[in-house]
Structure 1
């Protein structure tokens, strides 16, 4: 699969591993992929994220992803749905953290590890990579760039897709921005 990745897409995967190292997370998931995309400055995905106003909101995105992780993966939409059923997720998280410590729902059993290890991808992150390949093939492209990773994140229902959607970054908006950029290059 990785032989089709451009240098930019490979940089995103390496950046996601570095994000996991920084947070002490034992796996590479959607949040790490999104944060790595936000670190890029000169790539198709970086151009789209800048055009859609996400680059200047990197810190709020990082905070939103950290909150999703702290809540054990529950997105803002999940929190709202549970609230509709009378369940206050913040209360649940607080009670769990009282008993098991802060970040208990986010922990993957490797917190505090300092040794650099090869971190596996979560099933959700693997699904993003697979969707990215299908998206690239569907667009008639022979490579997988960071723009395909961004498109794949926007089609999923995971934490990264939910945070992007909250910012108005939808699959359609990304496609439009990519097409506009390509149209300007072709002129």
Structure 2
């Protein structure tokens, strides 16, 4: 499938691997893909993000903080936290207790080897594994490209796939005014798509 990716989409995948390495994780997650998309300039995906209000560095840093907050919660979205709350489980309390016992960021699963599937503590050589979520994101981007009758998968298809799937990246983007419908309108028309 990678041969169908444009130069910009390939750069996003490569950038996601770099974000993964910098965070000390062994699995590339869909959040790494979002961070790599935010790094891009001069592409269709970056145009859509800029058009929807994510052009300035402060807003991009806010997205990165939102992703980091979710990592601290063990990768659970606010919807997950709300569902647990409905069952009488206070996620904030659990995170606090785990961090008291094991240190700040213990549920993040980063450089300490916990929860990242590597068994090693930091950077590792070789091919980086893509999590199920990241693989599903790549597959969804292919579906979106085919649905738009595009021959190649661009970074705009990756962005659309991120906004179409439930989870932390879509939630954080929506918090910043970037939704699936908004991205579609910016890229393919059909009305205004200004984020407020």
Q: Give the TM-score normalised by the residue count of structure 1.
A: 0.90
The correspondence of residues 124-139 of structure 1 with structure 2, limited to 5 A, is: 124-139=133-148
Q: Which residue of 1 aligns with 2:90?
A: 88
Q: Report SS of the residue matched to 1:105.
A: helix
Q: Which residue of 1 aligns with 2:151?
A: 142
- Number of aligned residue pairs: 181
How far 1:112 moved relative to its partner?
A: 4.1
Asked if the contact 2:20/2:27 (under 8 Å) is kept, the reply is yes
Q: Report SS of the residue matched to 2:129.
A: coil
How far 1:47 moved relative to its partner?
A: 0.3
How far 1:102 moved relative to its partner?
A: 2.5
Deviations 1:80-120 (A, max 9, x none): 33334443211101112222332222212557423444211
Provide the aligned C-alpha RMSD in A. 1.8
Choose between structure 1 and 2: higher helix proportion.
1
Moved beyond 6 Å, runs of 4+: none
Q: Which residue of 1 aligns with 2:37?
A: 37
After TM superposition, the structure 1 stretch with the greater mean CA deviation from structure 2, 127-136 or 55-64, is 55-64
Q: Which residue of 1 aligns with 2:194?
A: none
Q: Is 1:13 matched with 2:13?
A: yes
Q: Report SS of the residue matched to 1:157.
A: coil
After TM superposition, the structure 1 stretch with the greater mean CA deviation from structure 2, 48-57 or 137-146, is 48-57
Q: Give the TM-score normalised by the residue count of structure 2.
A: 0.86
Q: Which residue of 1 aligns with 2:170?
A: 161
Q: C-alpha separation between the residues in 1 aligned to 2:97 and 2:170?
A: 28
Deviations 1:70-89 (A, max 9, x none): 11111123223333444321
Q: C-alpha separation between the residues in 1 aligned to 2:55 and 2:80?
A: 25
How far 1:69 moved relative to its partner?
A: 1.0
Asked if the contact 1:124/1:158 (under 8 Å) is kept, the reply is no
Q: Which residue of 2 aligns with 1:53?
A: 53
Q: C-alpha separation between the residues in 2 aligned to 1:150 and 1:99?
A: 38
